[in-house]
Structure formats: structure tokens, C-alpha cells
A and B are shown apart, each in its own frame.
Chain A
């Protein structure tokens, strides 16, 4: 079955530490890839997306992600996290079905950044 896997369910970092959140998907066709963030009590916001072209994608708030096709991966990175990055992060893959496109999410990674 097609799936999206996020390896880390809970991550705790100190401010200024570097962040890398793993995401793998299992789908052999063409995919579009997304990372969303959900701050406490809020709805989803798009951090970045990859459709084609340069596999290194830069998003908002200093986040970036690298698409490695051979590894079916789309890991999210940030060189130096801030307390305000405390949130839940979701990787998502846009899969084409016979009926159209739909976004499939990983189970999320909860990030806590401590002062």
C-alpha cells in the first residue's frame, strides 16, 4: 500500500540546535511532496513543497528539504531552531489516483524546542 513514513514521532531540541526530520514514501510514480507545520491550536500551514526541478527546496522560516528520488525521501532541515519552531510537522505526498489527486500524510513529528 502507498504510505508516508515519518521516522521521528517526538523530537526535543535545544534552541540553536540543528534539525532534521525524516520522511519516506512508498510510491513508484511521479509524486509531489510537501511539508506542513501545525502550531499549537492552529491549522496546517505549508512550509515548502517540491514539484520538479532543483531537489533542494527552500521554504519559509529558514526551513529546507531535499528530495532524494533514489531513496524515496524528502527530509526536512533547519540549521538552527528557535523556541517558536515548537510545533507538529507533517510530511505529505500528493498521489495521483484514477479519480484525481489526493494528499496523503505521515503521522507527524512533534517538535519541542527548549530555551
Chain B
């Protein structure tokens, strides 16, 4: 089925460990996004990529890096995980011109202990 695929679905890290969250879309969308969801905070934008080869910071970029590997893939890296990064992470994609709508992945639940 067409959509946004995120891996892994669940992950537990120790403080200081690193990991990369993977995201891929097969809808030929230009734009891709990473959000984190925390109770009472809604979804907050971490980074986004308006098109292949570009990335921009969102509302909460500290502690994260991203790579737009190609048009399909947009990864999120935690270089040194902290307990404050315990969250549910959602990847999304859109056609990019604003009115194409957004498609969300099923999320990655990350716990940092």
C-alpha cells in the first residue's frame, strides 16, 4: 500500500547512545517532515525537507540531525540520546505546494533510559 513507512516501531536506548529513525515514502512527494508528539504538547516539528537536497529546522531541532537521502527517504538521527527525547516520532510527507495534504507514518515510540 502506498504511504509513509517508518522503522523501527519501538526502540529503547540508553542515555548517550545514538540511533537513526528511518522514513520512506512511495508517493513521489517533494516534502518530508519529522515531528515528535508529547502529552499535552501536540505534535512539534523537528526538521523538514521541502525538496530533495534541502533541510530546515523546525520548532524543536536541538539534539537531532536529518538527512534527505533521496526523494523517497528522510532519516532522523539522535547522536547522543537524552531522556528528554523520549517521545513518539512521526514522519510525514506532502506534495509540497501546501494544498496536497499530508500523509503520516505510524510512528516510532522511543524511550531513552
* Chain A residues within CB distance 8 Å of chain B: 6, 9, 32, 34, 42-44, 46, 49, 51-52, 90, 92, 94, 96-97, 99-108
Contacts and interface: CB of A to CB of B under 8 A. Distances in A.
A90 B45 CA distance: 14
A90 B43 contact: yes
Interface in B30-73: 31, 33, 35, 40-45, 48, 50-51, 54, 56, 58-59
B106 interface: yes
Contacts of B51: 100
B31 A100 contact: yes
Contacts, number: 66
B42 A43 contact: no
A99 B54 contact: yes
A101 B94 CA distance: 9
Nearest to A106: B42
Contacts of A108: 40, 42
B55 to A, nearest CB: 9
Contact of A101 (B35, B54, B58, B98): B98
A49 B95 CA distance: 15
Contact of A105 (B42, B50, B96, B107): B42
24 contacts: A32-B99, A43-B104, A43-B105, A43-B107, A44-B43, A94-B99, A99-B48, A99-B54, A100-B50, A100-B51, A100-B54, A101-B31, A101-B97, A102-B31, A103-B33, A103-B45, A103-B94, A103-B102, A105-B35, A105-B42, A105-B43, A105-B44, A106-B42, A107-B41
A100 B48 contact: yes
